[in-house]
Structure formats: structure tokens, C-alpha cells
């Protein structure tokens, strides 16, 4: 018993020593600086991972001062996966404000944290790439291209009226850049001008990208 007590008291004194060392270290300028640099490096790493498409990387953003609507728009935009785009009308429909397409564009134009909230992945409802608050449309195209999207091809298809794409084998219709849509083989692929046209042909909307009814049917200034 006495041996057991000794070992236990030894462990307790070791613990106290560790606590004392940590407490002393936190009071030194060196440790504070090191911790600050480590935290900063950690945050930079998370931001870089997030921008590169790692959705597990958590980045804190300060959206205080934004209205509920603006916050809804920004948080919804943050859900758009790396290398994919959605029209303004999609965001409006997703947040339950299907007629507020223009206001969605305004809210994204005032995005306080571009790239972190990837407003560059939101395109005009007519399927053109549209404006970008962080340096103009050329930057938007360059960032989308860096994410693996071909902006020219996307616009060409949109101008030809190809706003949605589906698979003849699954009869599921998607936003064209949805990861499921991109896996469809060309010989099985079909294009639709509107979601109504897809529904008429017996296609049901993808549960992942949730193409919004009406998006793509009207041209909205960005």
C-alpha cells in the first residue's frame, strides 16, 4: 500500500511540476510570441486549405453587422463546392427568397471575405460568369479556371440554352457543374434549357446540387 501511495504522490508531484512549468512558460514573452506565431500559421494554413477546397478546414469569419438576409446569402454561397458554380437564382431559392435574385447579387457584391466565402462561384442567372468585387470579371474567370472550371465553355453552353444537364440512365437533372453531373458519360448526357423542360421529359432534380426551378430561365443583371 505504501508503495502504491508513493507512486501516486510521485505522479501528483510530476503533474504539479508540469503545470508549474507551463504556467511559467506562458508568462514569458518568448512563449507568448511562439504561441501567437503558431496560431497565426495555423489560421493561415486553414485559410489556404479552405480556399483550395478542403471543406474540413474551419475558418472563422466575422459577419457581425450584416443583415439576416446577407448572412443567409453568404453562408449559402459558402456551401458551393470547389470547382462548381451556381446561379444567383439558386441562392435566392435555397434561402427561401426566390424573387430576391437581385438582392442576392448585391449581398455578394459586398462580401466581406472573398475567397473564404466563395462568391466567385456564383454566376449570373443567364449563365454568364458576371462581375466580381475582387478585381473584376477577369479575376473571377481566373479563379474559376484555377479550380478546374472552363469559364468559356460554361458560358458557351449557357448561351446555347444548356442550363441543366441530366443522365439518360438515371433520369436525374443537375446544375451543369455538379460533381455528379460531371461524371455522366457524353453518350448518356442530355441538356435542358429549363427545369420545367427536364421535368416534362421525366427527369427529377439532383438531391445534391438541388437545381432551382426558374434559375436559368430569366436573365438577371449581376
Residues 6+ apart with CB under 8 A from 121: 77, 80, 84, 85, 86, 144, 147
The one catalytic residue in 42, 119, 174, 178 is 119
Give 107 or 206: the residue with its C-beta nearer to Zn ion.
206
The residue (of 106 and 170) whose beta carbon lies closer to Zn ion is 170
Q: How far is the CB of 118 from Zn ion (least distance, A)?
A: 18
Residue with Cβ nearer Zn ion (201 or 208): 208
Mind spelling out the 3-state secondary structure of the chain? CHHHHHHHHHHHHHHHHHHHHHHHHHCCHHHHHHHHHHHHHHHHHHHHHHHCCCCCCCCCCCCCCCCHHHHHHHHHHCCCCCCCCEEHHHHHHHCCCCCCHHHHHHHHHCCCCECCECHHHEECCCCCCCCCCCCCHHHHHHHHHHCCCCHHHHHHHHHCCCCEEEECCCCEEECCCCHHHHCCCHHHEEEECCHHHHHHCCCEECCCCCCCCCCCCCCCCC
* Binding site residues, Zn ion, CB under 5 A: 174, 178, 180, 206, 208-209
Nearest approach in angstroms of CB 174 to Zn ion is 3
- Residue placing its CB nearer to Zn ion in the complex, 125 or 167: 167
Q: How far apart are CA 74 and CA 113, in angstroms?
A: 9
- Smallest separation (angstroms) from Zn ion to the CB of 132: 24
Nearer to Zn ion (CB atom), residue 56 or residue 183 = 183
- Catalytic residue at 119? yes
CB of 27 to Zn ion, least distance (A): 55
- CB 75 → Zn ion: shortest distance, Å? 20
Residues annotated as catalytic are: 119
Amino acid at each position: 500500500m505504501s508503495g502504491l501511495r508513493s507512486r501516486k504522490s510521485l505522479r501528483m508531484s510530476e503533474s504539479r511540476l508540469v503545470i508549474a512549468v507551463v504556467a511559467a512558460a506562458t508568462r514569458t514573452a518568448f512563449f507568448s510570441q511562439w504561441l501567437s506565431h503558431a496560431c497565426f500559421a495555423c489560421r493561415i494554413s486553414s485559410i489556404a486549405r479552405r480556399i483550395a477546397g478542403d471543406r474540413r478546414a474551419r475558418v472563422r469569419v466575422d459577419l457581425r453587422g450584416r443583415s439576416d438576409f446577407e448572412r443567409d446569402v453568404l453562408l449559402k454561397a459558402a456551401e458551393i463546392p470547389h470547382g462548381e458554380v451556381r446561379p444567383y437564382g439558386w441562392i435566392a431559392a435555397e434561402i427561401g427568397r426566390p424573387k430576391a435574385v437581385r438582392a442576392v447579387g448585391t449581398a455578394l457584391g459586398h462580401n466581406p471575405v472573398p475567397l473564404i466565402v466563395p462568391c466567385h462561384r456564383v454566376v449570373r442567372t443567364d449563365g454568364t460568369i458576371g462581375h466580381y468585387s475582387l478585381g473584376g470579371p477577369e479575376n473571377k474567370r481566373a479563379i474559376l479556371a484555377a479550380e478546374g472550371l472552363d469559364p468559356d465553355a460554361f458560358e458557351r453552353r449557357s448561351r446555347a440554352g444548356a442550363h441543366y444537364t441530366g443522365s439518360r440512365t438515371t433520369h436525374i437533372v443537375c446544375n451543369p457543374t455538379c460533381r455528379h453531373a460531371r461524371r455522366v458519360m457524353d453518350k448518356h448526357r442530355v441538356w435542358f434549357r429549363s427545369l420545367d423542360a427536364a421535368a416534362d421529359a421525366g427527369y427529377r432534380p439532383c438531391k445534391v446540387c438541388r437545381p432551382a426551378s426558374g434559375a436559368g430561365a430569366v436573365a438577371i443583371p449581376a
